[in-house]
């Protein structure tokens, strides 16, 4: 039996298309919206340039089928048969150095909006570059 190509429909979202190429994180988080129709997996590659004061890089995701009513992506924790939902957040610790990492996010909605922010006290020289890949797994 031949190998299955899991990313047969993959394409790369350029940083310019995501409007997240070397964006400063000194004052606010940066966000981008993508149309994920026909795909079920989003991979975000994050390149964070550290300048000063940041302790973590965080990513949150919202989903929508019409790009107007947004819903926070949820994760569930179970205890005694009860599931408790919380907003899903991916957080990567930063310790006075640049950080590069990737996050795989399931996407079963038409639109996805992700926001990248930091904790701590970043300067205008703290920047982030995001490259996204949509695929079918």
On whether residue 90 sits in a domain, the answer given is yes
For residue 3, tell me if it sits in a domain: no
Q: Are strands 71-72 and 54-64 parallel, antiparallel or unpaired?
A: antiparallel
CB 29 within 8 A of CB 117: yes
Return per-residue pLDDT of the chain as tens, 137 residues: 444 334 434 445 554 444 455 555 655 677 778 888 888 888 888 888 888 877 888 888 999 999 899 999 999 999 999 999 999 988 888 888 888 999 888 888 899 888 888 888 777 777 777 778 888 87
Q: For residue 6, is it within any domain? A: no
The tally of domains found in the chain comes to 1
Please report, for residues 22, 29, 94, the alpha-carbon distance to residue 62 in angstroms, rounded to integers and kept in the order given: 22, 14, 24
pLDDT digits (tens, 9 = 90+) for 18-39: 445 555 565 567 777 888 888 8
Alpha-carbon dihedral sign for residues 95, 73, 86, 84? negative
**Domain membership flag for residue 2:** no
Structure tokens at 131: 């490259």
Query: Does any domain span residue 45?
Result: yes
Q: How many residues does the chain have?
A: 137
Q: Which residue has the tokens 């129709």?
A: 37
Confirm whether 4 is domain-assigned: no
CATH of the domain at 40: 2.60.120
Domain containing residue 18? 11-135
Contact of 129 with 47, CB cutoff 8 Å: yes
Residue 5: inside a domain, yes or no? no
Query: Is position 1 within any domain?
Result: no
The predicted model scores a pTM of 0.74
Nearest to 50 by CA among 135, 136, 120: 120
């Amino acid at each position: 039996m031949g190998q299955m190509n899991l990313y047969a429909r993959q394409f790369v979202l350029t940083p310019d298309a995501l409007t997240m190429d070397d964006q400063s994180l000194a004052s606010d988080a940066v966000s981008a919206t993508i149309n994920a129709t026909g795909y079920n997996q989003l991979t975000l590659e994050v390149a964070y340039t550290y300048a000063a004061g940041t302790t973590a890089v965080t990513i949150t995701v919202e989903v929508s089928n019409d790009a107007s009513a947004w819903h926070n992506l949820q994760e569930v924790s179970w205890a005694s048969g009860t599931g408790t939902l919380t907003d899903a957040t991916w957080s990567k610790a930063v310790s006075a150095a640049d950080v590069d990492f990737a996050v795989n996010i399931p996407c079963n909605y038409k639109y996805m909006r992700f926001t990248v922010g930091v904790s701590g006290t970043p300067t205008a020289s703290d920047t982030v570059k995001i490259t996204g890949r949509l695929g079918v797994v």
